[in-house]
Amino acid sequence: MEENTKSLLRFTTTGSVDDGKSTLLGRLLYETNCIFEDQYASICETSKRNGKEKVDLALLLDGLAAEREQGITIDVAYRYFATKKRKFIIADTPGHEQYTRNMVTGASTAQLAIILIDARKGVLTQSRRHGFLLSLLQVPHLVVAVNKMDLVDYSQEVYDQVVQDYTDFSRKLDIQDITFIPVSALEGDNVVKRSSKTPWYEGETLLHLLENVHVTADRNLIDFRFSVQNVIRPHLNFRGFAGSIISGTIRKGDEIAVLPSGKTSRIKEIITYDGPLEEAGNGSAVVLSLEDEIDISRGDMFVKPQNLPMVNNNFDAIICWMDETPMSLTGHYILKQTSNKVKAFVSKIHYSIDVNTLHRNQDTKTFELNDIGRIEIKTAQKLFFDPYRKNQGTGSFILIDPLTNLTVAAGMIRGRARSLDDIKVPEVSTKSTNVIWQKGEIPLQDYAERSSHKPAVLWFTGLSGAGKTTVAQTLIQRLFKAGHQVVLLDGDNVRHGLCGDLGFSIEDRSENIRRVSEVANLFYKTGHIVICTFISPLIKDRMLAKNLIADGFYEVFVKCDIEICKRRDPKGLYVRAIAGEISDFTGISSPYEEPKDPEFLLETDLMSVEQSVEVIMRSLKDKGVLR
């Protein structure tokens, strides 16, 4: 029973060739009494046969004949051991550059990584390469074990120099927790017991760190994701859905949404091999039953309705190519993510990364064995994912060759694919040929004197349901009663005529905003206060309007938490979008880029409509728009 309550730590070791990785792990296994007598007798005999004066503990990890003959690690060696405090799964990975794919495989599930550095050689190129790869894989804890201190007379100066060199390098990487320990794997110094030969070192031993490093906070307990692996139907009175909880937690009675259908229900039971649970969390293998009958199959995902993943069939990813056959840009692969398999295409190569120098090669035409870089992938069906940095379970995938069934690549999703055109600010739209702008006979100043206000364009932007139209309509009533010339251009209204031919793709949204900007400018030039209420999710589109109207443009950010917007849902659009009935819906399957420096900020989840209008009226007077 005590064994079942121990926490589990998965860690990996890596380093340059002959830095002593296998010896270090052999020392850990030996001194924690985690090897059998016949195993020890066998490596003693092999050590003598190889002419070694001392028992070669590395033989406990070097499982392949080629490894024993050459004294190197080739394949990933997995070992299990336990102490009184914790259970461990070790992945001993190779240091050779040609076995980069093996190193990535072994470190992909690690919560902690140990990089060994030979104290005699200092920080080598391979040491930097492994640090970069571990940073790329988002391994949260890194231990740099400065090994073979016995061969440099346990010199503090040598150790300090290695610490300084690697600290300087690690500043370039995304590594949050890094610890340095001087060790001698061969002699056992500072591995399990503190060494009297390093009195200048006041830190902890390697085993003490492994037993006490805090890893619970590294797990994603917020974003509930459960991928259905199988439908369980033992009899007519029970229907459950088997799978593992990828991240987050779930309790009986919690509301869930099923993707891609968007149907909602509540958890009726949480069932395990050992019996029912009230609550289950990250990593648990469970069967979930629901209160409602919903059509669900393998590959569907359970999530919380207030916490949704990204949904798209086009995304950016960092991949490691693992096959001897180069990547194909013309054929297709099978992409496996969670329990889902879809047809996928590599649509674009952004760059490859030289893991030794961190240089990006943007002229890369294909990926070959062990190459790492950034690509763009399109899938035949939409996937539900989170960025790898946020959720490794839903942000990772593998590519499979459909002909050989071999895994050819492992990848980490960065996010929805975007191009430079998505973010660059467009120039003000051009005019047709053979036309001349006809200036009005009435100057803007005369309009302002007659109407008691200056012309202005107030551009309301925010998520659907944030309250843009509600606030704008109340504002118009106030301005109209004050005798001001005011006009409303509403997102829905203009699509009944002026923009009725446009859809909601990124391109159509941009064209919609371009047309509205031109109309707003015409009203502006005749002295009106123009109120525009549009989601206008992209900064570049709003900048087009601002560049066109210039000084008279005021951006109004109607800010509201998306969960509150979903609850309001005045037009029922969120429900349809979650159900997959509406594609490219802002906040669900399409991004929203918040204004960086709006003239007005209205937090409508905290402010009433009247308060919001009063803020605008007061500010317009302060800015001299209203007299």
Residue 19 shares a structural domain with residue 115: yes
CATH of the domain at 238: 2.40.30.10
Q: How many domains does the chain have?
A: 4
437 within a domain of the structure (yes/no): no
Report how far residue 278's alpha carbon sits from residue 242's, in angstroms, rounded to the nearest whole number.
16
127 is annotated as an active-site residue: no
DSSP tag of 204? -
Residue 594 shares a structural domain with residue 452: yes
CATH of the domain at 515: 3.40.50.300
Q: Which of 303, 325, 346 is the last residue of a domain?
A: 303
431 within a domain of the structure (yes/no): no
Residue 333 shares a structural domain with residue 291: no
Give binding residues as ranges.
15-22, 92-96, 147-150, 462-469
Report how far residue 448's alpha carbon sits from residue 482's, in angstroms, rounded to the nearest whole number.
14
Residue 131 shares a structural domain with residue 115: yes
By three-state DSSP, how is residue 176 classified? coil
Residue 120 shares a structural domain with residue 264: no
- The 10 Å Cβ neighbour count of residue 8 is 13
Residue 230 shares a structural domain with residue 166: no
What are the residues whose beta carbons fall under 8 Å from the beta carbon of 472, sequence distance 6 or more? 458, 460, 488, 490, 531, 533
199 within a domain of the structure (yes/no): yes
Residue 494 shares a structural domain with residue 543: yes
Angle at which helices 125-136 and 100-107 pack, to 10 degrees? Answer: 40
Residue 108 shares a structural domain with residue 250: no
Predicted pLDDT of residue 269: 94
Considering the candidates 352, 536, 589, 612, report the single residue annotated as catalytic: 536
Report how far residue 162's alpha carbon sits from residue 167's, in angstroms, rounded to the nearest whole number.
8
439 within a domain of the structure (yes/no): no
Instruction: Please state, rounded to an integer, the average pLDDT across all residues of the chain.
Output: 84
Q: HSE on the CB side for 133, CA within 13 Å?
A: 37
Residue 323 shares a structural domain with residue 398: yes
359 within a domain of the structure (yes/no): yes
What are the residues whose beta carbons fall under 8 Å from the beta carbon of 70, sequence distance 6 or more? none
423 within a domain of the structure (yes/no): no
Copy the structure tokens of residue 591.
């991004």
Is residue 421 a contact partner of residue 403, using CB atoms and an 8 Å limit? no
pLDDT in tens, 388-417: 888 888 999 999 999 999 989 988 998 877
Report how far residue 232's alpha carbon sits from residue 219's, in angstroms, rounded to the nearest whole number.
28
Q: Which domain holds residue 540?
A: 444-622
pLDDT in tens, 580-621: 778 778 887 777 888 888 999 999 888 899 999 999 999 999
Q: Which of 173, 198, 218 is the last residue of a domain?
A: 218
438 within a domain of the structure (yes/no): no
429 within a domain of the structure (yes/no): no
The H or E element containing residue 377 is strand 372-385
Residue 100 shares a structural domain with residue 197: yes
**Is the model more confident about 313 or about 226?**
226
Minimum mean pLDDT among 101-115, 135-149, 256-270, 554-568: which range?
Answer: 101-115
Give binding residues for ATP as ranges.
462-469
pLDDT in tens, 455-495: 999 999 999 999 999 999 999 999 988 888 899 999 888 88
Residue 297 shares a structural domain with residue 326: no
pLDDT surpassing 50 at residue 64: no
pTM over 0.85: no
Is residue 538 a contact partner of residue 506, using CB atoms and an 8 Å limit? yes
Q: Which of 159, 194, 218 is the last residue of a domain?
A: 218
Give binding residues for GTP as ranges.
15-22, 92-96, 147-150
Residue 503 shares a structural domain with residue 569: yes
